[in-house]
Chains A and B, each alone.
Chain A
């Protein structure tokens, strides 16, 4: 960091950032402001919004379905993180190596990343038909002999976890692969000379060296879990009952099924708040904000 002052190369001026700032302002900040404003109105999408004061916000606080949705969102986020992090970490570290067929297998692993979320969800929905789909084969393996995977709240939620993992593990694997490749080889050489086996090397070199990547990836996963929507819309439609009704889905229902745009906007604003708070907390308590390098002392 302190080298910056000595760096003589011309740095891009602030005006390089203008196009990006304009687009960010126009397509992120302006709509955000409008949504917040909308959250203080009653509006069914037709005619003019009516000022509503704090109505929508008070309703959120007292609405049991919103609290339920928040709980489901948290459960989904935590389970998704627990499933995806070890998988993508191990895959990423493996994919950073030089094994035979690694490139081919990596390419196969990355395929889901190239498909649109909606296409993935539609394909899975067909696979999950209990009579004609894969569910009749998969169900018995997890103790559901009639393939009724979408029929109970818990199993439907787990189905969403599996689909989301299938879709996003490749992305996080990519992050870990890139990070693992940047770990200096001399660390491993030194460790081998000291007689460390592969497990030791992984635990004492790879994992600590990947610390920042784990934080980045976790941040993306956790904040991303606040936006899970299209998979749920297509595969379970929030069901059975309300079992997979996450907060973004509840927002969609309020705005576009009940046509309570103001209430939907309030839920959306609450989501933005939660997402921002969550990122701040994670960055602060992980020490990520200090930007401490993992290469100190090398």
Chain B
């Protein structure tokens, strides 16, 4: 009997999933009456889920509304969310990447507008770093509350390799090119690059465009301005990428290297690559996978200055953070907002994030960060974001999904040498 039940349930789940894929979720059913209650949706993550769980637990103690955490694997999350919104299974509070990732939900009024609530509670609003809170705005309205640490892109380097060869990390473009030649000469790949996943390559384009033309270049692109892709800074950045590839800055087989399975990070940790341009998550990943390397030889610095560029060299790119947003159709919108108000900046929550190696987007954290186990690194990231002239969000999150998809594919072709700067601009301008 139990076997039959299990078989049937699996079958029903599979069928419901099948229907959901075909856009029939509303009639597909799949709700389970025994697991009633409002949900908070988040990404599956062994580090952050217990922290989120604890916050929800704490909130449930004193509230009439009870929430429950549901987590999903990264790859399936965006699809699951899209299919569930507007159905009875939709979450009350949901994890997102801000920007374009929720724009289409905002357009159909499915996300609660938090602007007035934040304005009415200045203490709540001012507890978050303004640049990070603002990066989650859509058309000057707030829809998201930061839920975890900041993820700017950092230039990591292998301190032992640099020391052995009496070198120092690049401060400008000329030094960077010089380092490429020097590391090549001793048989070390200058930069690890997980080129089978194009978002890793996007980090190069984001920084180069920002350094060459400033944050306005991408602002014009994301505003959909005619001809914005053809900006001289874009051409210059793509040309420099071509130059780097040709010089062997990423080795020869980077387009087979993956990030998810650890290909690039391992290459870097083993000393087969000298530097790695990557988001801040590289640090906890290395701590977890290669603890000895992370402790003894992992260095970090800012992206080099381009002397001929107009951009402010303090500007950063990357993911400002991830956000929790409230489903405007939820039965308990006020309770959901209350949960975010009470817990996303609470001492317990922020301390747990710091202990996990995150650098939360909370104001006045210097003291607490300096006593954390990874103080030096945490303070570097915190200062870097606080003093940044601009924080440009990752383009693939900030642009409409169909544009992001074309951009990533075409950029990969540039790295492969199959397309030049003009070809890239042409594809992006025509939008196919």
A interface with B by C-beta (< 8 Å): 27, 31, 34-35, 38, 43-47, 63-65, 125-126, 128-132, 135, 146-152, 236-242, 253, 256-261, 265
Q: Is the CB of B83 within 8 A of A45?
A: yes
Residues of chain A contacted by B253 (CB below 8 angstroms): 130-131, 146-148, 151
Q: Complex Cα distance A273/B288, Å?
A: 49
B215–chain A nearest beta-carbon distance, Å: 26
- Indicate if the CB atoms of B255 and A131 lie closer than 8 Å: no
Cβ of B312 < 8 Å from any Cβ of A? no
Decide: A129 and B263 in contact? CB cutoff 8 A. Answer: yes
- Contact across chains for B405 and A253 when beta carbons are under 8 A apart: yes
- With contact pairs A45-B82, A129-B261, A240-B412 given, residues A261 and B196 touching in the complex (Cβ less than 8 Å): no
Cα-based distance from A120 to B211 in the complex (angstroms): 43
Whether the Cβ atoms of B413 and A241 lie closer than 8 Å is yes
Q: Identify which of B17-25, B163-171, B202-210 touches chain A.
A: B17-25
**Interface pair B257/A129, CB less than 8 Å apart:** yes
- 9 A-B pairs with the lowest CB-CB distances in the bound complex, closest first: A258-B402, A148-B253, A151-B255, A130-B253, A150-B256, A241-B413, A146-B253, A45-B82, A130-B256
20 A-B pairs in the complex with CB atoms less than 8 angstroms apart:
A31-B19, A34-B22, A43-B23, A45-B23, A45-B104, A126-B261, A129-B258, A131-B263, A131-B266, A131-B272, A132-B263, A148-B256, A237-B196, A237-B197, A240-B195, A240-B413, A241-B409, A241-B412, A241-B416, A257-B405
| Residues in B whose Cβ lies below 8 Å from that of A258 | 401-402, 405
Cβ of B115 under 8 Å from chain A: no
B198 on the interface (CB 8 Å rule)? yes
Q: Is the CB of A38 within 8 A of B23?
A: yes
Q: A129-B258, A238-B409, A241-B418 are in contact. Are A44 and B263 (CB under 8 A)?
A: no
Please tell me if the beta carbons of B196 and A257 are within 8 angstroms of each other in the complex.
no
Instruction: Tally B residues with Cβ within 8 Å of A.
Output: 44
Is B374 an interface position by the 8 A CB rule? no
**What are the residues of chain B within 8 A of A126 when measuring CB–CB?**
261
Closest CB-CB distance, A264 to chain B, in whole Å?
9
Closest chain-A Cβ to B65's Cβ sits at a distance in Å of 25
**Shortest CB–CB separation between residue A66 and chain B, in angstroms?**
10
A238 to B405, CA, bound (A): 11
Confirm or deny: B387 has a beta carbon within 8 angstroms of a beta carbon on chain A: no
Q: How far is the CA of A253 from the CA of B410 in the complex (A)?
A: 14
- Residues A260 and B402 in contact, CB atoms below 8 Å apart: yes
Q: Which of A131, A150, A260 has the most CB of B within 10 A?
A: A131
Task: Determine if B105 is an interface residue (Cβ-Cβ < 8 Å).
Answer: yes
CA A46 to CA B402, docked complex, whole Å: 15
Contacting pair A150 B196 (CB below 8 A): yes
Q: For residue A265, which residues in chain B have a CB less than 8 angstroms away from its CB?
A: 23
Q: Mark B392-432, 1 if CB is under 8 A from A, else 0.
A: 00000000011001000110110010100000000000001
User: Which of B23, B78, B85, B257 has a CB less than 8 Å from the CB of A131?
Assistant: B257
* Chain B contacts to A: CB under 8 angstroms: 15, 18-19, 22-24, 78-79, 82-83, 85-86, 104-105, 107-108, 110, 195-198, 251-258, 261, 263, 266-267, 272, 401-402, 405, 409-410, 412-413, 416, 418, 432
Return chain A residues, CB-CB under 8 Å to B108: 46-47
Nearest opposing residue in chain A for B24, CB measure: A34
Q: Pick from A27, A132, A152 the residue with the most CB of B within 10 Å.
A: A132
Closest to B85 in A: A46
Min C-beta distance of A241 to chain B, whole Å: 4
A31 to chain B: which residues have CB within 8 Å?
A: 18-19, 22, 24
User: Are A149 and B256 closer than 8 Å at their CB atoms?
Assistant: yes
Contact A27 B15 (CB under 8 A): yes
CB pair A148–B18 under 8 Å, yes or no, is no
In the complex, the chain A residue whose C-beta lies closest to that of B196 is A150
Interchain nearest-CB distance for B104 vs A (Å): 5
Q: Which residues of A contact B83 (CB under 8 A)?
A: 45
Q: How far is the CB of A182 from chain B (nearest CB, A)?
A: 33
Give 19 A-B pairs besides A27-B18, A151-B256, A256-B78 with Cβ atoms closer than 8 angstroms. Answer: A31-B24, A34-B22, A46-B104, A47-B108, A125-B258, A126-B261, A129-B256, A129-B263, A148-B255, A236-B196, A239-B196, A239-B198, A240-B255, A241-B410, A241-B412, A256-B79, A258-B405, A259-B82, A261-B23
Q: In the complex, which residues of chain B have a beta carbon less than 8 angstroms from the beta carbon of A256?
A: 78-79
Smallest distance from the beta carbon of B36 to chain A beta carbons, Å? 25
**From residue A249, how far is it (CB to closest CB) to chain B in Å?**
11
Complex Cα–Cα for A102 and B191 (A): 50
Chain B, Cβ-Cβ closest to A239? B412
Asked if A65 and B432 make an inter-chain contact with CB atoms under 8 angstroms apart, the answer reads yes
With contacts A27-B18, A237-B196, A240-B255 known, is A46 near B86, CB below 8 A?
A: yes
Partner of A64, one of B86, B418, B432: B432
> Cα distance A135–B258 when bound, in Å?
13
Q: Which residues of B contact A151 (CB under 8 A)?
A: 195, 253-256, 416
Residues from chain A with Cβ under 8 Å of B409 in the complex: 238-239, 241-242
A135 with B18: CB separation less than 8 A: no
Docked complex Cα distance between A97 and B104 (Å):
61
Are A240 and B79 in contact, with the CB atoms below 8 A? Answer: no
Q: Complex Cα distance A260/B403, Å?
A: 12
A259–B402 CB distance below 8 A:
yes
Chain B residue at smallest Cβ distance from A136: B253
The answer to whether A132 touches B23 (Cβ under 8 A) is no
Q: What residues of chain A lie closer than 8 Å to B195, measured between beta carbons?
A: 151, 240
* Bound-complex Cα distance A44 to B402 (A): 11
The complex places the Cα of A227 from the Cα of B281 at a distance, in Å, of 35
A43 to B108, CA, bound (A): 12
Given A131-B267, A241-B412, do A146 and B22 touch, yes or no (CB 8 Å)?
no
Chain A residue contacts of B82, Cβ below 8 A: 45-46, 259
- Report B-chain residues with C-beta under 8 Å of the C-beta of A131: 253, 257, 263, 266-267, 272
Measured CA separation A63–B406 after assembly (Å)? 13
Cβ–Cβ < 8 Å partners of A146 in chain B? 251-253
Assess the B24–A63 pair: CB atoms within 8 A.
no
Q: B41 to chain A: closest CB distance in Å?
A: 16
> Which residues from A are CB-within-8-Å of B258?
125, 129
